[in-house]
Amino acid sequence: MIMKKRIAAVLLAVTLVLSCFEARAYTYYDVSKLMNADDFRSCADSSGGIFLSAKYGSALEFMYINGSGASGFSFEPDGLTLEAFSGSNGIVGAVLSGTDVSENGVNISQLQILTYDFKKNFNDINTVSATIAGRDSFALGKNEYYILQDDLKTIRAYSLDSVFKFSVRSFRPVDQLLYDSAADCLYVVYSDGIGLLDGDVLYDLGNLQTPVTLCGKSAVISSSGRVYAINGRTIKSLCTVPSSSCAVIRNMVYYSDGSMIYSMSGSGEVLSYLDTGEYIYQLFPCGTKVGALNDSGELMTVAANEMEPVVKPTRPEASSDSKPPESISSELNGKGGITSDLYTIDNSAMTVTGIKPQTTIAVFKTNIDYSDYKAVFRNYDGKTRTSGNVGTGFTAEFTGADKKSYTLIVSGDLTGEGNVNSLDVRSYMRCLCGKAQLDFPFKAALDINGDSECDVLDLLVAAKQ
């Protein structure tokens, strides 16, 4: 049974919900009201918009921001609670807790489905007989929406006016539903992988670390910061960024690290940066710009050409009759045009140490001055890498007037993956107990705190990472 009714909603004047500070160099929207309210939620529309939602007083408030501006919408739920929230193509959808009704002696669960079209200023609410598994179990599509039932395996599709279309059953439990509006497809996320719903057929794309977040057209990012591109029924790892806050726009990867926003090419080279002055809570694609939401509740939108380009430092020419004092340290720290103010370059052992875990190739390159050389990176197995984390055992080959090859050592990384996890901690414990031995270069990665000793203090540091 499907009952349909319309409930009056109030369109908020945008100036009451947000303020645009034109005096600043970039466009800012004040969304602190929603961020500080109860049950704040957000989701990115891969076709170029940002949806925000929160409960403020007795009302549910929604906001949509894209490259053209922002608008808000308020709805009185009449005691119903927000179960799930999704948006795409300028339309927001919300699942409100329903009631159980008795029909011929059988209890039937019902959900209220609210939709609002920000472009047409039109809202609608319908009732469907269904259950829902949780807040990540609803996805609004182009002409339909999807609900994951509380059995965690059945996905039901409905038209926007809540007419049932079809159902699909997964062979394993589903954790998330994500709709990519730019690619017009539904991603089905499991505990260890991702699938694609094409029509009413579910295809397995492969394994990845979950949960994941939609970060652009045919692009998702895992909680570990690894970015994946999805092309049809194939998935490919692109790169790894320092946080799970990321936006992919026109083949450019934007990521945040503290208060900084970086843009990176598909080859892993950092091209530009911007210091926002405050910690970035989340990044979104916002039209052709990137949207950045900070902890203070300000959402800024910025284009790539509004960011500072990365310029590699040039080395001053040395005097022909004398050496400046700094040239002495330069000789010890990468003689021949390869220097670093952050890492230690040993030209005797041909190693680079002092590299922190989760350092990407792009970030590593920005902290090395190799202006007279071309750099090629290879992992421990000798395979060329252009993106992702550098790991212990990687080699950085610099080719110019001469050729230099350095072994990279990442503090605490005993597996060559570029991070420190439970596998590294277990390996460290076995080494301390004398049950295992490590060879170079992994043995050099044992000294995490830099005191030239490999002891329990290093283990404590590894366990905290």
Query: How many C-beta atoms lie closer than 10 Å to residue 171's C-beta?
Result: 9
> Distance between CA atoms of 288 and 267, rounded to whole angstroms?
20
pLDDT of residue 22: 42
In angstroms, what CA-CA distances link 147 with 55, 166, 215, 261?
A: 22, 11, 21, 35
CB atoms near residue 251 (< 10 Å): 12
Tens-place pLDDT, residues 8-27: 444 443 433 444 444 445 78
Measure Cα distances from 443 to 12, 183, 208, 355, 410 in Å. 62, 46, 29, 15, 11
Split at pLDDT 50, 70, 90, the class of 115 is very high
- Number of other CB atoms surrounding residue 371 within 10 Å: 13
Task: Single out the residue of 460, 346, 457 nearest to residue 404, CA to CA.
Answer: 346
pLDDT digits (tens, 9 = 90+) for 429-439: 677 666 666 67
Question: Is the predicted pLDDT of residue 108 greater than 60, yes or no?
Answer: yes
pLDDT band at 102 (very low <50, low <70, confident <90, very high): low
* pLDDT for the residue numbered 8: 45
pLDDT of 154: 95
d(CA 94, CA 87) in angstroms, rounded, equals: 8
Sign of the torsion angle spanned by Cα atoms 172, 178, 179, 181: negative
The CA distance from 408 to 388, in Å, is: 14
| Residue 331, phi then psi, degrees to nearest 5 | -65, -35
In terms of Cβ atoms closer than 10 Å to its own Cβ (0-12, 13-18, 19+), residue 394 is buried
Nearest to 66 by CA among 85, 32, 91: 91
Between CA 216 and CA 209 the distance in angstroms is 18
Per the CB < 8 A criterion, the answer to whether 201 and 194 are in contact is no
**CA neighbor of 368 nearest in space, from 240, 226, 270, 257:** 270
Considering the four listed CATH numbers 2.60.40.3470, 3.40.50.20, 1.10.1330.10, 1.10.3720.10, the one that applies to the domain covering 326-464 is: 1.10.1330.10
Q: Which two tokens stand for residue 146?
A: 């999807």
The CATH number assigned to the domain with range 4-309 reads 2.130.10.10
Structure tokens given for 164 = 């049932």
pLDDT of residue 435: 65
Q: With a threshold of 0.75, does the pTM exceed it?
A: no
Amino acid identity of residue 420, one-letter, is V
Tell me the mean pLDDT in the region 352-371.
87
pLDDT at 315 over 50: no
What 3 state SS string does the chain have? Answer: CCCEECCCCEEECHHHHCCECCCCCCEEEECHHHHCCEEEEEEEECCCEEEEEEEECCEEEEEEEECCEEEEEEECCCCCCEEEEEEECCEEEEEECCCEEEECCEEEEEEEEEEEECCCCEEEEEEEECCCCCCCCEEECCCEEEEECCCCCEEEEEECCCCEEEEEECCCCCCEEEEECCCCEEEEECCCEEEEEECCEEEEEEECCCCEEEEECCEEEECCCEEEEEECCEEEEEEECCCCCEEEECCEEEEEECCEEEEECCCCCEEEEEECCCCEEEEEEECCEEEEEECCCEEEEECHHHCEECCCCCCCCCCCCCCCCHHHHHHHCCCCCCECCCCEEECCCCEEEEECCCCEHHHHHHCCECCCCEEEEECCCCCEECCCECCCCCEEEEECCCEEEEEEEECCCCCCCCCCCHHHHHHHHHHHCCCCCCCCCHHHHHCCCCCCCCCHHHHHHHHHC
What single letter denotes the amino acid at residue 154? Answer: T
**pLDDT band per the 50, 70, 90 thresholds, residue 456:** low
Q: Token pair of 51, please?
A: 């949806």
Per domain, the residue ranges of the chain are: 4-309, 326-464
d(CA 88, CA 77): 21
On whether the CB atoms of residues 55 and 38 are closer than 8 A, the answer is yes
Residue pair 23/62 in contact by the 8 Å Cβ criterion: no
Instruction: Kindly report, residue by residue over 231-242, the tens digit of the pLDDT.
Output: 888 888 888 887
Residue range 49-70, pLDDT digits in tens: 889 999 888 899 999 988 788 8
Q: Of residues 461 and 333, which shows the higher confidence score?
A: 461
Distance CA 175, CA 133 (A): 9
Q: Widest CA span of the chain, in angstroms?
A: 101
Residue 400 class from Cβ within 10 Å (0-12 exposed, 13-18 middle, 19+ buried)? Answer: middle
Please write the tens of the pLDDT for every residue from 270-290.
889 898 888 888 888 888 889
Tokens of 296: 């203070």
**Per-residue pLDDT at 320 exceeds 50:** no
Whole-angstrom distance, CA of residue 301 vs CA of residue 287: 9
Same fold, 4-309 and 326-464: no
Q: Report the C-alpha gap between 86 and 140 in whole angstroms.
A: 6
pLDDT in tens, 141-165: 988 999 999 999 999 999 999 999 9
- Mean pLDDT value across the chain: 80
